[in-house]
Amino acid sequence: MPDTSKTGLVITAHPGDFVWRAGGAIALHAARGYRMKIVCLSYGERGESQFAWKTAGVRLEDVKAQRREEAERAAAILGAEIEFFDAGDYPLRVTEEILDRTVDIYREWKPSFVLTHALADPYNFDHPAAAHLAQEARIVAQAAGHKPDPNRAYAAPPVFCFEPHQPEQCGFQPNVILNITEVWETKRKAFEVLAAQKHLWEYYTRVALNRGVQGGRNSGRPMTYGEAYQRLFPDVVQELG
Amino acid sequence: MPDTSKTGLVITAHPGDFVWRAGGAIALHAARGYRMKIVCLSYGERGESQFAWKTAGVRLEDVKAQRREEAERAAAILGAEIEFFDAGDYPLRVTEEILDRTVDIYREWKPSFVLTHALADPYNFDHPAAAHLAQEARIVAQAAGHKPDPNRAYAAPPVFCFEPHQPEQCGFQPNVILNITEVWETKRKAFEVLAAQKHLWEYYTRVALNRGVQGGRNSGRPMTYGEAYQRLFPDVVQELG
Amino acid sequence: MPDTSKTGLVITAHPGDFVWRAGGAIALHAARGYRMKIVCLSYGERGESQFAWKTAGVRLEDVKAQRREEAERAAAILGAEIEFFDAGDYPLRVTEEILDRTVDIYREWKPSFVLTHALADPYNFDHPAAAHLAQEARIVAQAAGHKPDPNRAYAAPPVFCFEPHQPEQCGFQPNVILNITEVWETKRKAFEVLAAQKHLWEYYTRVALNRGVQGGRNSGRPMTYGEAYQRLFPDVVQELG
Amino acid sequence: MPDTSKTGLVITAHPGDFVWRAGGAIALHAARGYRMKIVCLSYGERGESQFAWKTAGVRLEDVKAQRREEAERAAAILGAEIEFFDAGDYPLRVTEEILDRTVDIYREWKPSFVLTHALADPYNFDHPAAAHLAQEARIVAQAAGHKPDPNRAYAAPPVFCFEPHQPEQCGFQPNVILNITEVWETKRKAFEVLAAQKHLWEYYTRVALNRGVQGGRNSGRPMTYGEAYQRLFPDVVQELG
Amino acid sequence: MPDTSKTGLVITAHPGDFVWRAGGAIALHAARGYRMKIVCLSYGERGESQFAWKTAGVRLEDVKAQRREEAERAAAILGAEIEFFDAGDYPLRVTEEILDRTVDIYREWKPSFVLTHALADPYNFDHPAAAHLAQEARIVAQAAGHKPDPNRAYAAPPVFCFEPHQPEQCGFQPNVILNITEVWETKRKAFEVLAAQKHLWEYYTRVALNRGVQGGRNSGRPMTYGEAYQRLFPDVVQELG
Amino acid sequence: MPDTSKTGLVITAHPGDFVWRAGGAIALHAARGYRMKIVCLSYGERGESQFAWKTAGVRLEDVKAQRREEAERAAAILGAEIEFFDAGDYPLRVTEEILDRTVDIYREWKPSFVLTHALADPYNFDHPAAAHLAQEARIVAQAAGHKPDPNRAYAAPPVFCFEPHQPEQCGFQPNVILNITEVWETKRKAFEVLAAQKHLWEYYTRVALNRGVQGGRNSGRPMTYGEAYQRLFPDVVQELG
């Protein structure tokens, strides 16, 4: 069980999400010694695997296995553990068992931060379902009477929403830009695992470059590649400068 | 199965909704050759049938039958097919079976546009439940792995929310005004099927006249009767003028 | 059954909520002859009883009994009846039976006003769950076909959200400040029943004093202690002055 | 100088505004003994007098005189005093002298409430200019060092925005509905003074009827004619029921 | 004077703005026969000419002349007329004379649509100043008593805000995506006139590609290059499909 | 001229504002070696000096001198320089000269952060006027052509809005909580300079304690006294944990 180093937790609906949206943050923190864990609620088997379904007669289990294998490879490139919940997609339905397991993960990992989807996404309801789980499990993990243990120490971590595909349509309000320049090549390598989605490689490379320009503008210090996040809870600080 | 002409799909919680809120759009597009289909999730049997319940001892089944008959007549006047899901009202509960059937309808009809309720309504939770179904089914219908068929072509249609009873209390932000002047008499005839709700005939006639004035102001071209809609997704255009 | 006097209804997720957030309103209206009823959805047994769980081996039933006893004492001090639904907490799950019972309460009590949680609370999902129940039951109670009775008279009451712990994080927009100065000592006595949460006594005393200052500023009349509320539906008035 | 009775103050950009939007409130409070005062910032001479300008060669002064006379007649019918500032329209420009005079009026009248425009109106920038003046003068009137007088007593009154022509486009969020049924005939008579705007007579009659229906729905008590307002500051109350 | 063909009007604070943000729309409509006119409020001489100011001793007039020449070349490439108001930048101050001239332009051009900045931009206050002018002049142009002429016909056109540099920070809510693929090479050529801002060539190429992808997703029809706009007033339509 | 150490800049409308709202941040950063500068736009002589005006015949200049002396003492206690602009209050009017001087200060001080008012305050229009100046000067300071100097280096600093008196009424959305516990005694001493506003000493002590509790909740680390801020631009970071 991880308990000595810093850790980060990523809760996503589908495999592509953690690559396109948070791959830089995962690789960056992994490179700095954080233990990073990805919870992937589904394999994206029905709604994010168009290519696979072009083969007539392909079976759901095959698609799931193929997407799982890809996700594992991408996670490995980024330097993260990955756990799958096989909750289904299109629609993704979160059960009480999934909530329970997620609470346990919060308590075991005691993450320094959590990354998940934006709270709304009219193009994809699996995304807010994952974000809701990330938030509800974070809350339940604080309940002393849930699997009580008087010796447990746990504090709810900050939550950062990663960027949805069409940010303005999702009410996404980026208030943090993370400099991912030093791990860009790693993120790009993880892109390349998702061989069937080449058009998204370029899309998200452009997103990273433009967020990088914005990061430079907002800080006065040059940045090449960035990832945008929306921090949900106030940042508690000892200094403003 | 409709497959050659243009089509429109309307997803409503109760029978009155498609008449008061979208009757003009239905009649107008029907008149222009669109095949129009209404999905009516309930009969409004418990919460929108006050008159019927004034008779002591009336049975739920009788109320449902009476409202169904009315709804069918109103749909016929407007020129639309209607399908009922009998999902109950006050509260309306959407099941996985209902979602599944709605996905099928999206795929069969390939609508050019979808009309449904506003996303919030603090006076009536059946309304956002219907809107949520309309959105979720639209998303699931895109999933290649849901009832896979490599030959299927499907693109998610634009969604327009029709006007709730108290628009400002529902966060309704009209950004489209449809000129329904040429079909006003048809809409009004559909009103008259709803004989127990005469007070609403006048209310929604006034709404239509005032939306018409607003349509005239916003376009510089006179309009007598209008219906207001909130388009949820960006309008993709080839020209602005 | 209460039927002659004015009444007020309070729907809360956990026992502390009605004390910290609405204790002044309860005591004030009780003092003025309103029959006040609290519906307490859970005992706060898992998530709001940290102190109790510090004892190794304590049983859930014991914690529930202890919190119930406290809640009953606090309600008695404030002058209200209390009914528990034992719906669990962290997470609180509202069932159809709970909805049904709440509808009955609305109809029996015909409250002049309802107090409940804010519509969002990213720190505690039990709170919006309770608020959702308060709203949904209020709507269903209007349905003539739900347990039909042609002789029933019922009008949906105004709803006021009480103040969450971190108001700006919950989208709480106070638009009513209630002067609770004359019942402050009663509210404070109810605080003291919650012996394990002494730090909150002072927190909510400060909240009451600062809302009092704001009440004074907004009215031009001095106020010492106040409670802030967000009225959800338009106020219908015969005069503005 | 009014100093013994209750008073109300109305600050509008153009003459029509106080008739269409607040005529009911003016007549109602006048009927109840309030001294009502209208501050009309312009005569609407350039932008709200289309009819007058259809005569070739008409002079600005003539249009102003004609609109002033109409406004005086309408104010008299409603039972209010009226003062004109001749600030121009399309665009209306508020000067420091106008601010100064408005501050004096607040202090002399000590209104129980103030009625003015919504804070935004993308169709008419004179409207938010008037609302800004109403708010700024209300603030300056509180400054002890503005025309100091140690004996002065003054408390800033509540502000209510009246309904703009296209409420949803102006961010207008009605949270108060005033029952104007008993003075409807008076309001309608004031309409008729504005002989060149007959189309608006019917528009605002429909608005009043529909706001009346909404007032009935929100209160459970029948209402025929209503006016919607947005209260800007919290309502400070001694009781919620 | 243009009076027979369709026209479009673009109101921008600085020269770069019409190129990066609206160059596609200008070129596209010009290509379709619209007469396009750009009103450029300043030369961007102080705040958008960093490169020029790197030469010690350069004079303001020289910078203005250089930027003017560039803007004229870019406008010519796009196929538009351009008029400069020399209102200064950083800060841009709109005078009554500028307003008056802009009103005249609206009346002369009778544009089918107007393009301008987003309503807010915390990075650049010249932008909302230009947008405010575009809106105010559009309103004043409707006033019959402003330079009265009983024979004048004029209707206020729809307004579209073009995309700011950091859209989410400006409250920019794109609800229209314009397909500019067929004029992309022209827009790109106009980029290249702005030789000192090569880094923005690539930034806005990426923006156009990503808006193109979004246009494709929202329409179900492929698009390569897009421009995002926010329509401010309701779209008045005769059909939804 | 400060040029070697870190600096912070505070731009406020009236003297009390920097004490109540930002006194902790000023003292904290001063204690850590930042050079802190306060720009105080007025003396609060008319609107924030009720006590002084209770003396009949007191002169404006005397009130200004007295408030200035207090403000200087408070600034000295907090460890900051202070500069007054004597722009007047109720209403405060920002001139081009004031903007020009503020731009110079930004460039001279090159602050690491800027503190100012919330962007809206319906109770006090001087506050948003000061915030607007803080933002506009920050923008103009970036313009290479404003007092050009090819050797100048300048980057726009982050801006934090401090807490208004009634945060929810001002749209204040705190997203940063600063721990000011270690300088609380200094802040409290600065309170005591404002001898005529004793009631606010207690009000803002309660605010600081409650923000401290919230800081503890959001971080999981105890905090006694806090100040809430709203960061306006994205935070650019190298790590999330």
Structure tokens at C73: 């004492």
Q: pLDDT digit string (tens) for D206-230? A: 999 999 999 999 999 999 999 999 9
Q: pLDDT digit string (tens) for B5-29? A: 899 999 999 999 999 999 999 999 9
Predicted pLDDT of residue A225: 98
- CA dist., res. A128 & res. A150, Å (int): 33
Q: Does B217 touch chain D (CB under 8 A)?
A: yes
Average pLDDT over residues D27-31: 96
Using an 8 Å CB-CB cutoff, list chain C residues near F207: 210
Tokens 């999981």 correspond to what residue?
F220
Using an 8 Å CB-CB cutoff, list chain C residues near B53: 144-145, 148, 150
Residues 101-120 of E with CB under 8 A from F: none
- CA dist., res. F135 & res. F158, Å (int): 10
Nearest to E140 among D52, D91, D169 (CB): D91
Q: Does F55 touch chain D (CB under 8 A)?
A: yes
pLDDT bin (cut points 50, 70, 90) of residue E56 is confident
Cβ pair A55, B150 in contact under 8 A: yes
Partner chains of A (3+ C-beta pairs under 8 Å):
B, C, E, F
From residue F153, give the alpha-carbon distance in Å to each of A213, D98, F83, F108.
19, 44, 24, 10
CA-derived radius of gyration, chain C: 18
CB contact under 8 A, E90 and F146: yes
Q: What's the 3-state SS for chain E?
A: CCCCCCEEEEEECCHHHHHHHHHHHHHHHHHCCCEEEEEECCCCCCCCCHHHHCCCCCCHHHHHHHHHHHHHHHHHHHCEEEEECCCCCCCCCCCHHHHHHHHHHHHHHCCCEEEECCCCCCCCCHHHHHHHHHHHHHHHCCCCCCCCCCCCCCCCCCEEEECCCCHHHHCCCCCEEEECHHHHHHHHHHHHHCHHHHHHHHHHHHHHHHHHHHHHHHHCCCCCCEEEEEECCCEEECCCC
Using an 8 Å CB-CB cutoff, list chain D residues near C175: 175, 231, 234-235
Structure tokens at E96: 């009554």
Predicted pLDDT of residue A195: 87
- Distance from F89 to chain D by nearest Cα, in Å? 9
pLDDT(A10) > 90: yes
Nearest to F236 among A29, A112, A215 (CB): A215
Query: Which residues fall within 8 angstroms of residue C98, CB to CB, at 6 or more apart?
Result: C41, C85, C87, C133
The answer, yes or no, to whether A and C have at least 3 beta-carbon pairs within 8 Å is yes
Nearest to C91 among A140, A144, A232 (CB): A140
pLDDT bin (cut points 50, 70, 90) of residue E4 is low
Instruction: Please state whether beta strands A176-179 and A226-231 pair in parallel, antiparallel, or not at all (unpaired).
Output: antiparallel
Predicted pLDDT of residue A4: 53
pLDDT(C5) > 90: no
**Topology annotation, domain E7-147+155-163+174-231:** Rossmann fold (3.40.50)
DSSP string covering B26-84: HHHHHHTT-EEEEEE----TTTS-HHHHTSTT--HHHHHHHHHHHHHHHHHHHTEEEEE
CB contact under 8 A, C123 and A146: no
The answer, yes or no, to whether E and C have at least 3 beta-carbon pairs within 8 Å is no
Predicted pLDDT of residue D199: 86
CB contact under 8 A, E214 and A166: yes
Q: pLDDT digit string (tens) for D84-141? A: 999 999 999 999 999 999 999 999 999 999 999 999 999 999 999 999 999 999 999 9
Does residue D23 come out as left (phi exceeding 0), alpha (psi in the -120 to 50 range) or beta? alpha
CB contact under 8 A, E166 and A199: no
- CA dist., res. A176 & res. A230, Å (int): 6
From residue A179, give the alpha-carbon distance in Å to each of A27, A67, A188, A221, B223.
12, 29, 15, 11, 54
Q: Does C153 touch chain D (CB under 8 A)?
A: no
A-interface mutation test, from F173, F178, F233, F236, most A Cβ less than 10 A away: F236
Other Cβ atoms closer than 10 A to A55: 12
pLDDT(D157) > 90: yes
Buried b (16+ CB within 10 A) or exposed e, E57-93: ebeeeebbebbbebbbbbbebbbbbbebbebbbbbbe
Q: Does A136 touch chain C (CB under 8 A)?
A: yes
Q: pLDDT digit string (tens) for F38-68? A: 999 999 999 999 999 998 889 999 999 999 9
The proportion of chain D whose per-residue pLDDT surpasses 70, expressed as a percent, equals 98
Other Cβ atoms closer than 10 A to C140: 23
Q: If you measure CA to CA, which chain F residue comes closest to A211?
A: F236
pLDDT(A204) > 90: yes
Average pLDDT over residues D225-241: 97
- Average pLDDT score over chain E: 96
- CA dist., res. F119 & res. E154, Å (int): 37
Q: Where are the domains of chain C?
A: 7-147+155-163+174-231
pLDDT bin (cut points 50, 70, 90) of residue D4 is low
Predicted pLDDT of residue B4: 53
Cβ pair D240, C178 in contact under 8 A: yes
Partner chains of D (3+ C-beta pairs under 8 Å):
B, C, E, F
Other Cβ atoms closer than 10 A to B15: 30
pLDDT bin (cut points 50, 70, 90) of residue F4 is low
Q: Does C65 touch chain B (CB under 8 A)?
A: no
- CA dist., res. F182 & res. F28, Å (int): 8
Residue from A7, A6, A58 nearest A36 by CA: A7
Size of interface B-E (CB pairs under 8 A): 110
Size of interface A-B (CB pairs under 8 A): 49
Size of interface A-E (CB pairs under 8 A): 39
Predicted pLDDT of residue B3: 44
Using an 8 Å CB-CB cutoff, list chain E residues near D89: 143
Predicted pLDDT of residue C2: 45
**Secondary structure letter of residue C93 according to DSSP:** -
Q: Does D153 touch chain F (CB under 8 A)?
A: no
The torsion of the CA quartet D101, D104, D108, D114, rounded to 10 degrees, works out to: 70
Residue type at D125 in one-letter notation: F
